[in-house]
Amino acid sequence: METVGIVGLGYVGLPLAVEFGKIIPTIGFDIDRKRIDELKRGIERTEEVTAEELSKASKLEYTFDSKDLEKVTRFIITVPTPVDEYKKPDLRPLISASKTVGGALKKGDIVIYESTVYPGCTEEICVPVLEGTSGLKFNEDFFCGYSPERINPGDKVHRLPNIKKITSGSTIETAERVDELYKLIIKAGTHRAPSLKVAEAAKVIENSQRDINIAFVNELALIFERIGIDTHEVLEAASTKWNFLAFKPGLVGGHCIGVDPYYLTHKAEGLGYRPEVILSGRRINDNMGIHIANRVIKLMARQELTIKGGKILVLGLTFKENCPDIRNSKVVDLINELSSFGAVVDVYDPHADPAEVKHEYGIDLAQQLRHPYDAIVLAVSHNEFNNLPWDKLKTLKTILFDVKGFLDKSIITARL
């Protein structure tokens, strides 16, 4: 029987490890010893897997010792693929994971990548690392697959088993084996792509398309603000047409939508092509935090509210609602811009881990809310924010800006 090894036990890797661990021998590997210790004790802080689901994975063992991977025959690499400060792909986690796997690689093994990359990255970057570390020959001694992750953090409806899976392999036989492996856990079925590059490209354009669509409505919001009409009312009216795509304006962060387009543009520029639409969309979305902050400050000035030393509450720091994921949160841009005006900014988020936020962004999350505030910005639409004591948090002059179009229009000052 094959043994599956999941390398990286985050939002993507852990659900995979748990599903495989229900039916076949599975090793979950992560370099974070604290993470391994927590999982062994049934603690799962990404909120993607329940304690009950963890307990059902009876064939799953957790480890931070790379020697334990020597038992694995089917490796699945699910490490993050971020961008650096210059918006260039940061492949260091991917290369490091490939070296770790290469050290345990044996003849006949298959290495499958799920991390988002640009088309060609598996064969151009990862395979040479695997060959160099293992001393084995690609497509003779070992083989590769690519099956892009489609995890949607915080989504309790679209989960791993019921999301259709793209699969691919470096040879026809490998593609069949990779496809059969995933069919063990994917109830929604699979789509076998004809090559690794096609599978890689499919993943990167899924999020690039969404990024561009959101950039379009963000630009509409900038225009409609100047016209003096409500963007959400315009979108509601337009949505009465059967084929209108009802995207909403907002902050675009996270580990996928705000990052993946840069992988595609990096590859395109390396081939001598300058992408216009994709990069234009990225510029619009990357600047929305600053725009929102400036709009809030202008509204405060009109109300003759104190700006320097004024008290502003930002509700939500995670990159999306009802999940603890703070990676690449664009709310931070909003907070930094508000702070640059001299305002005293409290940040409250019941889902984010305070220690992680402090380590990642240097921000101390508020444990209790001071009241009232001069301005309140709802940046993330956590369900808990429906039940806040608005009568205590705000006065008649308080600016309440709703980034997400989440609150009842009767209680807000403005929305994006």
Distance CA 103, CA 402 (A): 51
- Closest Cα to residue 365, out of 344, 385, 388, 348? 348
Provide the 8-state DSSP code for 126: I
DSSP strand pairing (26-29 vs 74-77):
unpaired
Q: What are phi and psi of 91, to 5 degrees?
A: -95, 10
Q: How many alpha carbons lie under 13 Å from residue 337 in its C-beta half-sphere?
A: 19
What angle, rounded to 10 degrees, do the helices at 288-302 and 196-227 form? 20
Peptide linkage before 372 cis (omega within 30 of 0): yes
Peptide linkage before 119 cis (omega within 30 of 0): no
Distance CA 257, CA 280 (A): 14
In this structure, the number of other CB atoms found within 10 A of the CB of residue 301 comes to 12
Please give the torsion angle defined by the CA atoms of residues 159, 164, 168 and 174, in that order, rounded to the nearest 10 degrees.
80
In the chain, what is the straight-line distance between the N-terminal and C-terminal CA atoms, in Å? 55
Q: What are phi and psi of 113, to 5 degrees?
A: -105, 135
Catalytic residue status for 256: yes
Between CA 166 and CA 6, with CA 124 as vertex, the angle to 5 degrees is 50
Question: Could you say which of 121, 126, 144, 256 is catalytic?
Answer: 256
Distance CA 370, CA 13 (A): 39
Q: How many alpha carbons lie under 13 Å from residue 23 in its C-beta half-sphere?
A: 10
Sign of the torsion angle spanned by Cα atoms 407, 372, 331, 320 = negative
Task: Decide: 119 and 267 in contact? Cβ < 8 Å.
Answer: yes
**Cβ neighbourhood burial of 34 (10 Å; 0-12, 13-18, 19+):** exposed
Q: Which residues does the annotation mark as catalytic?
A: 256
